[in-house]
Structure 1
């Protein structure tokens, strides 16, 4: 998980006026002073002169030289509390721009502790200090000040994101996970979509803690809200790698991949076609091969002739099925168990005969006597989805049970139905 980047610290400093001029004796008092007595305070020339010179150097982006000018005030004795505040205020800004986080943090903490800031300005500086420590990878300090910012100033999404990632980057994965889950639950309860950053960080937490089940569930949630091909590829590979996943579901896994991440290689196209032919679905094999040829993945190279023969075999199978359709339909309808109706119905659905095919599949499921009834419900759901009947498809998928991977595939099909890739 890459580190988040937000507004640079100097932008935050400028927003709260930490690089603006400070008053010397005889000049107008500081605009942000907290009370009337503070407004009457000024700095002596031996303090104000080097500070004004430092401000000029800051404008020229000569940050180290500005720090050197500010350091000249260290020799001045008997500084007033206001002079100390003025020095810390400008030194913090210069140190932050110079990349000296320790000095900047120490200075800003002193500015906050001075009690001279109005609430709105204090809130911004507390937030800026947390961001400063975060950018410097000083995560314990970042957690301290970002937490304070949220406690004192209310929930700010950017601040909270930085806080959670500070937990993550400091390797407090349980706390990061817990806070992320709270945010996601709050968003979902309020009808909001969790941010992709939040969901990706939850996935990273699971990966970092080597919790495979948590990784899978968080990746599914991420893909539900922000479906992408790379998320689908990861999900499908992990489902297939789960202990107990049955090899007989390989074609079904490919079907889901074709509907989401899409088939990519010539081997994938030909594997699907061969599995479909073996299962008795030549129309599905022909459609898959046609897509491969149309995309340019098939039809060239040393295997072009073999690929063409495979497509010819699928075409012949389709023709044979059509020629014997009436006889086959009568046979499966007369059977006491529903496997024949189920398979013939699916073959017709893949050939585009949705109404007739779905009717046969529904009858086959009702008739029963199936070797793999959960697979049958999965295939019925896929058929509904191919026919554009989303609600019936989801209902069928949600009825699927089992521990061999079929229920996992059905759950992912629900995700595909509800959250297709645009």
Structure 2
């Protein structure tokens, strides 16, 4: 329950029982007529506490309520009003344990309506969560739903508490159900839900849930900040291979996440080393077009790199026919698969894709999943997005190829919109 609602309920009750009389004193006529009268020695500190709560002085309100405790012979109604006010003050002060004690007293009186009980339990669970007492928050959230609550806010409290207490299986199950319900109802799942599912899936090493979270996060929120986050997560996986550094750069370039001159320079050099000189030159050209390369103290160095890319591209074109002949004469398909992507980036995408397919068909590939990943890129460069996506969906493994292929499927969908 939100603090304002707790405070309003308690203060409203006090206003009813202790309405101000015309002479400024405490008037109990209306309350007495309803059988709700309290004595002035109880009513005055309660009203003072209510005023302190309204002004945000919650700890002072708790101290003022101790004056009521000193009054002997309190009636059941006086005790109820005391504990109701204490729940409101404790909620504001972030004192969940005091809220619990007061709530249990109130509940035992039999005078708290079911809806009001749920609102107080909501406040207790939320306060425990804010205090990082996650186990207690989880217990109270579970109790809330067991007793009939259905608040969307409390669903978030429950799921966050599950995650923070290490119950990833429950987090994945519950958040997935919420996301599915959102989609069935035509609602866009919130980024918070999707990120929670992604984090839980990664901690649980649940590849299926992780894939779903990534796909939905980037499908619904295809902005470069999310792409940067997801690419960072993928690279931090313990099984991710460093040989995919160039492939990560390709996705960074495609999603607007090339941040520095060093990014452009390193990517261009990695492309040349991979036999894709045309790609290397294209990367440098984009760096100059973006104003990232060619300026500042390193401007001359960037120009030398551009000259080098022109030279490497010329060399690549001059040797392409011979490289293709050697690749086709080789016993295995590795050279064809490696050559194909460079050819695709060199303006012959359809031919490049065919070369990679020939390499895959020839067999004995050192890394067949890498070849399929790059075949998808060649198809995309050729403008056949459907074929690219079909190829990427066939990529398997846990070293990074499948992760990158899945991200290319998502990126290609976003690029079409």
Alpha-carbon separation, structure 1, partners of 2:73 and 2:127: 31
Alpha-carbon separation, structure 1, partners of 2:37 and 2:239: 71
Task: Give the Å deviation of 1:290.
Answer: 0.7
Q: Using the TM superposition, name which of 285-294 and 14-23 deviates more.
A: 14-23
- TM-score, normalisation: structure 1: 0.75
- List aligned pairs for 1:338-377, cutoff 5 A: 345-359=340-354, 361-362=356-357, 365-366=360-361, 372-377=367-372
- List aligned pairs for 1:9-28, cutoff 5 A: 9=3, 11-20=4-13, 21-23=15-17, 26-28=28-30
Gaps of 5+ in 1: 1-6, 31-37
Alpha-carbon separation, structure 1, partners of 2:311 and 2:59: 81
From 393, 399, 409, the equivalent of 2:404 is 409
Aligned partner of residue 112 in structure 2, secondary structure: coil
Alpha-carbon separation, structure 1, partners of 2:233 and 2:348: 31
Q: Tell me the equivalent position of 1:231.
A: 229
Alpha-carbon separation, structure 1, partners of 2:98 and 2:175: 37
- TM-score, normalisation: structure 2: 0.76
From 148, 152, 174, the equivalent of 1:153 is 148
Task: Give the Å deviation of 1:55.
Answer: 3.2
- List aligned pairs for 1:167-316, cutoff 5 A: 167-169=162-164, 172-173=165-166, 175=167, 177-190=168-181, 192=183, 194-202=189-197, 204=199, 213-214=205-206, 220-227=211-218, 228-238=226-236, 242=239, 245=241, 247=243, 249-260=244-255, 262-300=257-295, 304-316=299-311
Alpha-carbon separation, structure 1, partners of 2:179 and 2:96: 38
Task: Give the Å deviation of 1:49.
Answer: 4.0
C-alpha RMSD of matched pairs (Å): 4.0
Deviations 1:172-215 (A, max 9, x none): 31x3x1221112331354463654334434555577x6x6x45x
Contact map agreement 2:42 2:71 (CA 8 A) in 1: yes
Deviations 1:75-100 (A, max 9, x none): 44433222221222223323444555
Alpha-carbon separation, structure 1, partners of 2:211 and 2:191: 12
Alpha-carbon separation, structure 2, partners of 1:252 and 1:98: 52
Q: Tell me the equivalent position of 1:127.
A: 122
Aligned partner of residue 79 in structure 1, secondary structure: coil
Q: Using the TM superposition, name which of 180-189 and 412-421 deviates more.
A: 412-421
Deviations 1:60-113 (A, max 9, x none): 555555445543433444332222212222233234445554444322332232
Q: Tell me the equivalent position of 1:115.
A: 110
